[in-house]
Homo-oligomer: A and B are copies of this chain.
Amino acid sequence: MVPTTEGPFARYEEYGIEDPRITRIDDIYYITYVCYSSFDCRAGLALTRDFWSFERVGLISLPDNKDVVLFPGKIGGRYARLDRPMTAISGRRDVWISYSPDLLYWGDARVVMTPRPGRWDGAKIGAGPPPIETERGWLLLYHGVRGTACGQIYRLGVALLDLENPSRVVGRAEEPILYPAAPEDLLGDVRNVVFTDGAIIEDDGELRIYYGAADQVMCLATANVNDLIALCLKDMET
């Protein structure tokens, strides 16, 4: 899948496309991705059935919006997605949720989760892979960013959203679960970054997190999904 140079999408993909997130709904793989152009960032939606041919479905947000990811199926009769609008007035970088009857027209948006000032995720946050359904809620991997005197540090954290009403945060781990420490995280085009758009849960409960390190190489980390859920809930009990 490459940026289009003709048709209605081309204008908004002029600088490229990035950060695809793949959600399977029935037999179709939907891909939400960032369209980057002189109009800044907005979300596109494509689909594929075979990963050989791709069909663009629609441009599904105004700018600025990134880190858009679909939930794997309808919730309460509607499709749902997470958003990360960037506001110009106060520079906010929160995670929001929107709903849709048909994947094309979106509305009823509300805030889900905000950065925690003074913490590892104090500057901005954004969703990672599609939320993973568990008995205790939707497990959300997200990146959190903190600014330092030498640039920003991107780490991964985890939260749990209510199954019926995913705009409600059930739990959120205090500390990051993955952070730049290995040489491949610390060197590269954009150092101090770990960033994931895709994760797969195995039958034995092992979560396989595919993440980019330093915007340069792909890596794999694993965790037990119950451990992650426990991290989310433990911190809530305190």
Cα of A100 to Cα of B60 in the assembled complex, Å: 12
Asked whether A153 lies within 8 Å of B189 as measured between CB atoms, the reply is: yes
Q: Is A221 an interface residue (CB 8 A)?
A: no
Output the residue of A38, A58, A109, A183 with the most chain B CB within 10 A.
Answer: A109
Q: Is A192 an interface residue (CB 8 A)?
A: yes
Q: Is A7 an interface residue (CB 8 A)?
A: no
Asked whether A92 lies within 8 Å of B104 as measured between CB atoms, the reply is: no
A156 smallest CB distance to B (angstroms): 15
Q: Is A196 an interface residue (CB 8 A)?
A: no
Closest B residue to A84 by CB, please name it.
Answer: B62
Asked whether B40 lies within 8 Å of A92 as measured between CB atoms, the reply is: yes
Query: Residue-by-residue, is A114-147 near B (CB-CB < 8 Å gives 1, otherwise 0)?
Result: 0001110000000000000000000000000100
Residues in B with CB closer than 8 Å to A63 are 85, 87, 92
Give the size category of A's interface with B: 35 or more
A83 smallest CB distance to B (angstroms): 6
Q: Which of A11-19, A24-32, A205-213, A226-234 contacts B (4 or more CB under 8 A)?
A: A11-19
A77 smallest CB distance to B (angstroms): 13
Given contacts A14-B118, A105-B101, A150-B193, contact A90 B40 (CB under 8 A): yes
Q: Is A178 an interface residue (CB 8 A)?
A: no
Given contacts A60-B107, A62-B96, A190-B150, contact A86 B83 (CB under 8 A): no
Asked whether B148 lies within 8 Å of A154 as measured between CB atoms, the reply is: no
Residues in B with CB closer than 8 Å to A41 are 87, 89
A168 smallest CB distance to B (angstroms): 12
Residues in B with CB closer than 8 Å to A61 are 62, 109
Residues in B with CB closer than 8 Å to A88 are 40, 64, 86-88, 91
Would you list 16 pairs from A and B whose C-beta atoms are within 8 A, ordered by A residue? A15-B117, A15-B118, A36-B118, A38-B117, A39-B92, A41-B89, A59-B109, A63-B87, A63-B92, A88-B88, A100-B107, A101-B102, A105-B108, A149-B151, A150-B150, A183-B187
Give me the interface of A with B, judged by CB distance under 8 Å. 8, 11, 14-16, 36-42, 58-65, 83, 85-92, 94, 96, 98-102, 104-111, 117-119, 145, 148-154, 183, 186-193, 215
